[in-house]
Amino acid sequence: MESKKSLPILFAVMFFVMVGFGIIIPVLPFYAENIGASPTELGLLMSIYSLMQLIFAPMWGRISDRIGRKPVIMIGILGLSISFFLMAVSTQLWMLFLARVIGGILSSANMPTVMAYVADITSEEDRGKGMGIIGAATGLGFIFGPAIGGVFSQSNLHLPFFIAGASSLLTFLAVMVILKESLTPEKRHQASKENRSLKQALSSPVSMLFILQLFVSISLAGLEATFAYFAAQKADLNSAKLGYIFMIMGFGQAFIQGGLMGKLTKRFGEGIVIQAGILISAIGFGLILLTNNFVTAAIYLTIFGIGNGLIRPAVSSLLTKKANAGHGSTTGLLSSFDSLGRIIGPTFGGWLFSVSVGLPYISGIVLSIIALLLFQLYVGNARKQNINIHKTSS
C-alpha cells in the first residue's frame, strides 16, 4: 500500500524540518540581542512568524489541492532553508525581521500539506495512525533541535543558523528525489470542486473542531511561555533540568502519537480520543499546580503532554474525514487556527502569570472544559445531520 512506503518518508521529512526549526530556538534570543533587539522587539520577532503562518497556511493548503502536495512541500522546506541562511548573515534587526517574515510565509506550507498528504494516502480507518506518526515526528524533531542548537551555539552564535539552513536544504533535495506525488490529476479536479464548499464547511458542524483546536493551542502556548518561571519558583529548577523535563514529556508524547494513536482511533474512534485527550490535559494542568521538585514536574508535565498529544492528530483525522472541502484547505485552516492560538497564548499566559503564578494552569483547565463543551456541541449538531463522529466503517 502507498501509505506504507510514504509514511516513513513523511516522518523523516517532518523530523528534519522540526530539527532545523528547533536548532535556532535557544539561540535566537541571544542572537537578536547582539544585533540590538529589545525584549519587546524580540517578542515581535517571535510573533511575526506565527502571524505569517496564520495568514498563509490556508492559502498553501488550497494551492496544494490544485497543483499537488509535493511542489508545495518543497516550497515550504526551501523557504525555511532560505530564512535560516538569511538569519545567519543578518547584521541588522530589519534583516532578522525580513528572514522571519519570509520563513513564516513559506514554511506555513509544510504542516498542512504534509497532513493533507497523509489524508490522501491513508484509508479512513488508518487516518488517525498516519496523523499520529506526523505528530510524533514533529515532537521528536523539536526535542533534538534545541539540544543541537545549544551545543553548537557555544562556539559561534551564527553556526546553528547555518546548520539549520543546511539541514533544511538537504531535506528539500531528499523530498525532490524520493517523495512521490499523492494527488492524481483526477483528485486535484475533485479537490478543486470541493474547495468551493469551504465556506459551507465552516458553517457546518465541523467548524466547532477548528475553534476547539484554537482553545487547545492557547492553553498549550500559555503553558510553554510560563512553565520555566513557574518551575523555577515552585521547585527551584534551572534551565538544564527544564530541558530534561521537556525532553521526557516529548518522548512520552511521541510514544503515544507514533505507537498508540492508530490503535486507539481504530478501537474507539477519533471522537472518544479527542475527549480523552482534553480530559487528560485538564488533569495535567491541575497536577502541574502541585509541582514541588524535578520528579513531580517531569511526571505532571508528561501527563499533560500525553493528553495534548492525543488531540491534534485525532482532530486532523476527523476533519479530513468530515469536512466538505479538499484535504489541503481543511488542514491549512486548522493550522491557521493553531497559529492564532500560538499568537494569543504566550501574551495571555504571561499576563495571567503576572497576576498569579498558578493562573495560567487554572485557565488551562477552564480552556480544556470549554474545548470539551465545544466538542459536545459538535456532536449534537452532527447527530442532527446524521453524521457519525465515532468509528468509521471500513
- pLDDT band for position 394 (cuts 50, 70, 90): very low
For residue 206, what pLDDT is reported?
Answer: 80
Cell numbers standing for residue 138: 514533529
Question: Where is pLDDT greater, at 307 or 203?
Answer: 307
Indicate whether 96 pLDDT > 90.
Answer: yes
- pLDDT band for position 294 (cuts 50, 70, 90): very high
Q: List alpha helices for 236-391, DSSP H.
A: 239-255, 261-268, 270-288, 294-322, 327-355, 359-384
Instruction: Tell me the C-alpha distance between 149 and 19, whole Å.
Output: 9
Count of CB atoms situated within 10 Å of the CB of 95: 14
Q: Which amino acid, residue 213? A: Q
Instruction: Tell me the C-alpha distance between 334 and 336, whole Å.
Output: 5
Indicate whether 110 pLDDT > 50.
Answer: yes
For residue 23, what pLDDT is reported?
Answer: 86
- pLDDT band for position 393 (cuts 50, 70, 90): very low
Of 245-259, 288-302, 321-335, the least confident: 321-335
- Average pLDDT of the chain is 87
Of 24-33, 87-96, 189-198, the least confident: 189-198
Instruction: Tell me the C-alpha distance between 220 and 304, whole Å.
Output: 9
pTM of the model: 0.85
pLDDT-above-90 percentage for the chain: 56
Of 1-15, 47-61, 195-209, 351-365, the least confident: 195-209
Is the separation of the CB atoms in 64 and 328 below 8 Å?
A: yes
Q: Which of 220, 308, 212 is nearest to 256 (CA)?
A: 308
Indicate whether 382 pLDDT > 50.
Answer: yes
Of 30-39, 51-60, 258-267, 362-371, the least confident: 30-39
For residue 241, what pLDDT is reported?
Answer: 85
For residue 355, what pLDDT is reported?
Answer: 93
Angle between helices 93-107 and 39-67 (to 10 degrees): 30
Instruction: Tell me the C-alpha distance between 279 and 97, whole Å.
Output: 39
Instruction: Tell me the C-alpha distance between 198 and 329, whole Å.
Output: 8
Indicate whether 304 pLDDT > 70.
Answer: yes
pLDDT digits (tens, 9 = 90+) for 313-347: 999 999 988 877 778 888 998 999 999 998 899 88
For residue 204, what pLDDT is reported?
Answer: 66
- pLDDT band for position 202 (cuts 50, 70, 90): low
Question: Where is pLDDT greater, at 239 or 220?
Answer: 220
For residue 392, what pLDDT is reported?
Answer: 45
Overall CATH class of domain 2-384: mainly alpha
Q: Is the dihedral of CA 126, 127, 133, 136 positive or negative?
A: negative
Indicate whether 233 pLDDT > 60.
Answer: yes
Q: How many residues does the chain have?
A: 394
Question: Where is pLDDT greater, at 297 or 202?
Answer: 297
- pLDDT band for position 151 (cuts 50, 70, 90): confident
Phi, psi of 53 (to 5 degrees): -65, -40
Of 14-23, 105-114, 171-180, the least confident: 14-23
Instruction: Tell me the C-alpha distance between 332 and 355, whole Å.
Output: 35
Beta-carbon contacts of residue 23 (< 8 Å; ≥ 6 apart): 145, 146, 148, 149, 152, 160, 161, 163, 164, 167
pLDDT-above-70 percentage for the chain: 92
For residue 387, what pLDDT is reported?
Answer: 54
Instruction: Tell me the C-alpha distance between 394 and 390, whole Å.
Output: 13
| DSSP conformational letter for 238 | -
Instruction: Tell me the C-alpha distance between 260 and 30, whole Å.
Output: 39
Of 23-27, 243-247, 382-386, the least confident: 382-386
